[in-house]
Structure 1
Amino acid sequence: MGADSVLQLRCKCKYDAWGKKGHNSLAARLASQQPGTDLKIEDHQTYSEMWMGTYPSVPSYVIATGDTLEEHLNKYPELVGKKIVEKFGGGLPFLPKILSMDKALPLQIHPDRELSKQLNKQDPEKFTDTNHKPEIAIALSQFELFAGWKPLNDLTKLFQHKPLQRFLPTPETHFNDASLKRVAQNLLEADEKTVAETLNELTQIPEKEFGKYSYIPKMLERVRSQYSEFDNGNLMAVVCMNYFVLHPGESVYVPTDGMHAYLSGDIMECMARSDNVLNTGFCPRPERDNIPLFCEALSFWPHEPDEALLGRHPSDKSLNGKTIEYAPPISEFNVLATHLSAGEKEKIKPINGPSILVVTSGQGRMSAKASEGKSHDLKEGYVYFVGCGVELEFEASGGNLDVYRPYAE
């Protein structure tokens, strides 16, 4: 008898200080609903991330067997599918998460494959793999973040403000990617006194003098209150980066080496299977990584806010027209999102590769047209691995049903 092609998973939460507390955390609420969990939500505890997949530091478990999902897929590689095994070397090539954020995550980039290999060789305990980590973030609630760079012409104008001129290579600097790299390094290497002085001077400038970036003084006050006035990330993020407020269903794509910092909200995040990161702001100075290395690795795309946004389109895998698709410009994954009202049904064509689905709200049933012909409960927080080549049917009951499903093909 072959392996079941649909497996319910038990997933774990992380407790980073930037997470939301208690039941305010969607990540905690979802994880606490899974059968067999030992998670008891405590009001004083922060809950930051629920991981779904095969990454060894926070593995998911197959409820029926007790194995980690990685162990199970190693036993039954046919669940992943020959094409994906040959292309990515087995296992899941992507890592999905639910994040719940109450304050800014570290200002960070994820190194490319070449740098990841170097860092893994130098410090395998910190840089635990050799892969790259492009990612997408889909808003499940209002989601604030910094991502990508403001347009070069806008940066040229902003740095005409006297407090910022101290970071320019020359007073006549006109911004291009090369000069922006120098300015970025100057901002990140500035001492605490200079950072605090600059921040205090900028907050004294009337909002209207920042033009369309009138949010800058109040945003500087906000991030200063979360960390300190001495954090270089305050200036880098607020002055240089695009600030977004996304609504549920909207998303961003962060390329390899793309600088970003998530501020607040609940998101469904998916990335290539990696956990490597270089941090350089919104964290204590001892936790910051090598700044010249960070700046050397830094990507200077995108320069326009619209370039950071990831669109969505009706999925050709949907048979009833109730599913949209997020398709980032990478090969590791796409994400399907199905929304059903009470009583509605959706069929999804077989996918030639593995997928993981998570129910973010609502309830219903799922049937899998595979050899075992089983049906499964869909409840808020339930997570399933779906093997290669399985047609699924969803039916909502008792209200709306929302299902997100990253897959590789």
Structure 2
Amino acid sequence: MTAVFKIIPTTQKYDWGKIGLSSKVAQYASAANLPGFTLDENAPYAELWMGTHHTSPSRLLDSPSQEKLSEYLAAHPELIGPSVTERFKGEGAAEGNLPFLLKILAIEKALSIQTHPDKETARKLHAERPDVYKDANHKPEMALALTPFQALCGFLPLPRIADYLVDTPEFAALVPQAIREQFLQVASTEDSADLKVKQALKDVFSAVMTADASLFQPELEKLVARYKSGGAKPSEKDVRDLVLRLDSQFPGDIGVFCAFLLNHLSLHPGEAIFLAAGEPHAYVSGDIVECMATSDNVIRAGLTPKLRDVPNLVAGLTYNAAHASKHLVEPRSFQASTHSTLYDPPIPEFSVLRAVVPSGETETHPPIDGPSIAIVTGGKGTVVWGSREQLNVSEGDVFFVGAGHEIELVAAGGDALVVHRAFVEGK
């Protein structure tokens, strides 16, 4: 048994993915010569999955039978570590399942207006609709930009939504007058956590998302025509291009109106956002590293051809209204490392390291008391551990690191070695 080894991720094709080699998913799969992967330059490569989720599990590269990672870890529990097994007792760690799932996403078209359930809601939905909600776990997640990335993320501050209700008649037309007036009354309050304020926001959001097509589609047509003719008001300048982009991708979809309800943010490579359960969001464009609790539960309500579950989405949101900066993950240095940055969201299931090791240099990661999965997103080099055991890696390679092992990342070639490493600790 070795503590560090390559694994085979899986690729997912969804219609919102980037086409062919414009997708980081396809680039990594091609560069790594993934077994069974054949590039289709006309296919949308949307996601690369790295983990033990039963829907699309990773396998060992050097296993003759391409053994599932979960099976191997169940047979070698020391690779997960006793503290992680104890911490996530009852959630599958003893059976070789990791508490996190690492992904690469390549987004050409906006993903759905969606949220992820908390644990209680996930158990309920899985029991009621196992064909749709395929596991009973929650799905807090973090998105770390590889390329310029845009997203809708969390509710706008209440005064900003109020401005749109006043200045954008097509949006206001979807909200009954009594609900609109109540919202405008409370929107100036400084206590966005007040239950009355949250209810007013919920009433507005619910009115929009449940509006009949006979009402919202003509209003959306008027809105798009006004924006295309140059009629955007000063207060709408920051939302005009987004509305037109979303409508071009999903014509006549109610989700376009979420541009007036949710924060629109742009991230540079190396910046990240965290989305707890119950936070509405939609990824708009770009390539990201995404990490989440091991789950595939998504509640959708717009901008999607997939099943929409508006009642459960409306019921499950937190209705926290705040500036987009609330969702940013502040990176910090990782222990005594020189070239690594830690992204540590406020949940136990995962953290992510981003290592950028200049050519010819070495970065040491001290032992972590839990398992890791890492993907090389740039350059090439060597992973060194134990009694100077070595694993050569290059762009697209995915490797597992067992609990309690120090590793060295040695950059070779002319470019920096860039590694994104997701891990969980037992403490």
User: 1:244: which partner in 2?
Assistant: 265
User: 1:209: which partner in 2?
Assistant: 233
Deviation per residue, 1:216-256 (Å, 9 max, x gap): 22221111110112x111002x1111111111001111111
Q: How far apart, CA to CA, are the structure 1 residues paired with 2:238 and 2:41?
A: 32
Of 21, 30, 46, the match for 1:32: 30
Q: Does 1:367 align with 2:384?
A: yes
Residue 164 of structure 1 deviates from its aligned partner by 2.5
Q: How far apart, CA to CA, are the structure 1 residues paired with 2:29 and 2:81?
A: 28
* Match runs of 1:3-402 below 5 Å: 3-34=1-32, 37-65=35-63, 66-89=66-89, 90=93, 91-161=97-167, 162-169=169-176, 170=178, 171-173=180-182, 174=184, 175=187, 176-203=197-224, 204=226, 209-211=233-235, 213-229=236-252, 231-236=253-258, 238-284=259-305, 287-289=307-309, 291-316=310-335, 318-319=336-337, 321-369=338-386, 373-398=388-413, 399-402=415-418
Which amino acid is 2:395 matched to?
E
Deviation per residue, 1:10-32 (Å, 9 max, x gap): 11100000001111110111122
Which amino acid is 1:332 matched to?
E
CA RMSD of aligned residues (A): 1.5
Residue 210 of structure 1 deviates from its aligned partner by 4.4
**1:216 is paired with a residue of what secondary structure?**
helix
**1:93–1:363 Cα change, 3 Å:** same
Q: How far apart, CA to CA, are the structure 2 residues paired with 1:292 and 1:17?
A: 25
**1:352 is paired with a residue of what secondary structure?**
coil
Gaps spanning 5+ residues in structure 2: where? 188-196
Deviation per residue, 1:303-330 (Å, 9 max, x gap): 11110111101111x44x1111001011
Q: How far apart, CA to CA, are the structure 2 residues paired with 1:208 and 1:313?
A: 40
Which amino acid is 1:98 matched to?
I
Q: Does 1:408 align with 2:424?
A: yes
Instruction: Work out whether residues 202 and 217 of structure 1, in 8 Å CA contact, stay in contact via their aligned partners in 2.
Output: no
Residue 124 of structure 1 deviates from its aligned partner by 1.6
**1:192–1:168 Cα change, 3 Å:** closer
Gaps spanning 5+ residues in structure 1: where? none
**1:224–1:79 Cα change, 3 Å:** same
TM-score between the two structures when normalised by the length of structure 1: 0.94
**1:253–1:302 Cα change, 3 Å:** farther
Deviation per residue, 1:85-126 (Å, 9 max, x gap): 111131211000000010101111011111111111112222
Q: How far apart, CA to CA, are the structure 2 residues paired with 1:218 and 1:348?
A: 43
**2:105 is paired with a residue of what secondary structure?**
strand
**1:327–1:302 Cα change, 3 Å:** farther
Instruction: Work out whether residues 158 and 321 of structure 2, in 8 Å CA contact, stay in contact via their aligned partners in 1.
Output: no
**1:18 is paired with a residue of what secondary structure?**
strand
Q: How far apart, CA to CA, are the structure 2 residues paired with 1:126 and 1:97?
A: 20
User: 2:190: which partner in 1?
Assistant: none
Instruction: Work out whether residues 374 and 398 of structure 2, in 8 Å CA contact, stay in contact via their aligned partners in 1.
Output: yes
Taking every aligned residue pair, what percent have the same amino acid on both sides?
Answer: 34
Aligned length: 398
Which amino acid is 1:209 matched to?
K
**1:272–1:302 Cα change, 3 Å:** farther
TM-score between the two structures when normalised by the length of structure 2: 0.90
